[in-house]
């Protein structure tokens, strides 16, 4: 097996497990957790949002460490931290214990999810990391598909505390071998030589970084807003219950299908082009839904899901294509900070917009996506003028 294929297999499986045992847990366990702890369900999600914010602050330091030393120890540390956080969550008896557990999980997410995986691949494969980055997002696109039924089964059989304990055991048992043994430890000699011989380019300016951070923040806001409110939003648009269920079931396959498209066809184009096209799919879907109503619900979900799938890959490939592999980890860590804040704010803010404006609130996310397209156009011209 080639080093790139080993890296994709190792990180793809490890990332699927890491997302499933952290980010996707509240969707299944929040309600029984709240009942048992005597808390309101929104309190559980508020603590989860705080954990996401914490993960944003530790991301830049983790990225810089990966730039210097590689990602193995960082990713293995995240497995152990996630295990500790899940164990603490299973032992929690009130709000303090809940906050402590999610603080550990927030730290683990900050040093062990996509940005850390992308930085590890950039250090291993340099400018050739685009393919492996696409590959691990293809694997991890099934994280919710696998983890939600698994967590539901565990909760039904063992209760929410038992479910957390099982996930706590899985993290080191699977994560440590995947990240510590199967994942290649050193860059290929040709890649290491090419990176070492590459001239040090001009550091990216604040404007370029700000534009890219805005694009990623918009993608995160829209993705989380739709994930949190898609069924209710489609119902407001007049879709039947059966259509809502079908549309929701198609979201994951649409994302994975778009990632396959990126790996097969769009890889011949610049990531700037594919990211621009991906940002256009959500506004197009909104336009179809608001003009034709329920008959366009499926089309909206396919367009939104496809664009979101490609934009997840763009989080890793755009900084690599625009600024190169040098300093990649620290840079992507900083770029992720506004995106994490946007993710934390999206469910509440978009929920308020839906209450106030109904389905017309979708013009807000459509407008954000159009603004992101403008930012990408400006970024392209800025880089061309610098070159």
261 plus 287 within the same structural domain: yes
Euclidean distance between CA atoms 373 and 318, whole angstroms: 14
Residue count of the chain: 387
Last residue of one domain, picked from the residues 137, 166, 196:
196
**Is the pLDDT at 122 greater than 60, yes or no?**
yes
Instruction: Give the containing element (helix H, strand E) for 126.
Output: none
DSSP track, 228-295: HHHHHHHHHTT--HHHHHHHHHHHHHHHHHHHHHHHHTGGGS-HHHHHHHHHHHHHHHHHHHHHH-GG
Check residue 201 and give its pLDDT. Answer: 52
256 plus 186 within the same structural domain: no
Among 23, 22, 49, smallest CA distance to 344 is for 49
What's the total number of domains in the chain?
2
218 plus 335 within the same structural domain: yes
Check residue 266 and give its pLDDT. Answer: 74
242 plus 141 within the same structural domain: no
Banded pLDDT at 369 (limits 50, 70, 90): very high
271 plus 125 within the same structural domain: no
Check residue 105 and give its pLDDT. Answer: 97
Average pLDDT, the chain: 89
Euclidean distance between CA atoms 145 and 319, whole angstroms: 28
Please name the residue ranges forming H helices in the chain.
Answer: 3-20, 26-37, 41-69, 72-91, 95-112, 114-125, 130-140, 143-177, 189-197, 206-236, 241-264, 271-292, 297-323, 328-357, 362-386
List the CATH number of the domain containing 40: 1.20.1250.20
Which of 196-205, 280-289, 354-363 has the weakest average pLDDT? 196-205
256 plus 320 within the same structural domain: yes
Last residue of one domain, picked from the residues 172, 196, 220:
196
Last residue of one domain, picked from the residues 162, 196, 230:
196
Among 272, 261, 316, smallest CA distance to 133 is for 316
Residue with tokens 């959500």: 282
380 plus 334 within the same structural domain: yes
> Which range marks the domain in which residue 125 is found?
3-196
Kindly report, residue by residue over 272-300, the tens digit of the pLDDT: 999 999 999 999 999 999 999 999 999 99
143 plus 260 within the same structural domain: no
**Is the pLDDT at 198 greater than 90, yes or no?**
no
242 plus 167 within the same structural domain: no
190 plus 313 within the same structural domain: no
188 plus 255 within the same structural domain: no
Kindly report, residue by residue over 224-245, the tens digit of the pLDDT: 888 878 888 898 889 888 888 8
Euclidean distance between CA atoms 311 and 255, whole angstroms: 10
156 plus 219 within the same structural domain: no
């Amino acid at each position: 097996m080639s080093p790139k294929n080993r890296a994709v297999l190792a990180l793809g499986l490890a990332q699927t497990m890491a997302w499933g045992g952290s980010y996707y847990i509240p969707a299944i366990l929040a309600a029984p957790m709240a009942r048992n702890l005597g808390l309101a369900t929104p309190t559980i999600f508020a603590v989860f949002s705080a954990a996401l914010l914490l993960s944003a602050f530790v991301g830049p330091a983790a990225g810089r460490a990966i730039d210097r030393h590689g990602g193995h120890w960082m990713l293995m540390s995240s497995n152990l931290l996630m295990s500790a956080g899940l164990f603490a969550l299973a032992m929690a008896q009130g709000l303090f214990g809940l906050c402590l557990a999610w603080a550990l999980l927030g730290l683990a997410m900050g040093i062990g999810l996509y940005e850390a995986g992308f930085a590890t691949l950039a250090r291993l494969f340099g400018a050739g990391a685009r393919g492996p980055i696409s590959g691990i997002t293809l694997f991890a696109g099934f994280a919710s598909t696998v983890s939600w039924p698994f967590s539901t089964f565990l909760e039904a059989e063992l209760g929410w505390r038992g479910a957390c304990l099982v996930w706590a055991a899985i993290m080191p048992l699977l994560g440590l071998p995947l990240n510590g043994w199967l994942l290649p430890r050193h860059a290929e000699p040709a890649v290491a030589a090419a990176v070492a011989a590459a001239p040090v380019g001009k550091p990216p300016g604040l404007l370029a970084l700000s534009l890219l951070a805005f694009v990623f923040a918009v993608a995160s806001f829209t993705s989380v807003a739709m994930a949190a409110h898609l069924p209710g939003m489609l119902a407001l648009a007049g879709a039947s219950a059966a259509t809502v269920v079908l549309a929701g079931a198609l979201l994951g396959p649409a994302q994975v299908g778009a990632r396959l498209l990126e790996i097969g066809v769009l890889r011949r184009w610049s990531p700037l082009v594919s990211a621009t096209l991906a940002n256009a799919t959500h506004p197009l879907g909104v336009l179809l839904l608001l003009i034709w109503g329920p008959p366009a619900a499926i089309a909206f979900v396919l367009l939104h899901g496809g664009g979101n799938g490609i934009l997840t890959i763009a989080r890793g490939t755009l900084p690599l294509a625009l600024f190169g592999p040098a300093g990649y980890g620290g840079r992507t860590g900083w770029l992720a900070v506004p995106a994490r804040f946007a993710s934390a704010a999206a469910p509440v803010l978009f929920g308020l917009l839906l209450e106030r404006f109904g389905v017309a609130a979708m013009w807000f996310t459509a407008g954000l996506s159009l603004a992101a397209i403008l930012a990408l156009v400006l970024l392209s011209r800025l880089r061309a003028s610098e070159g």
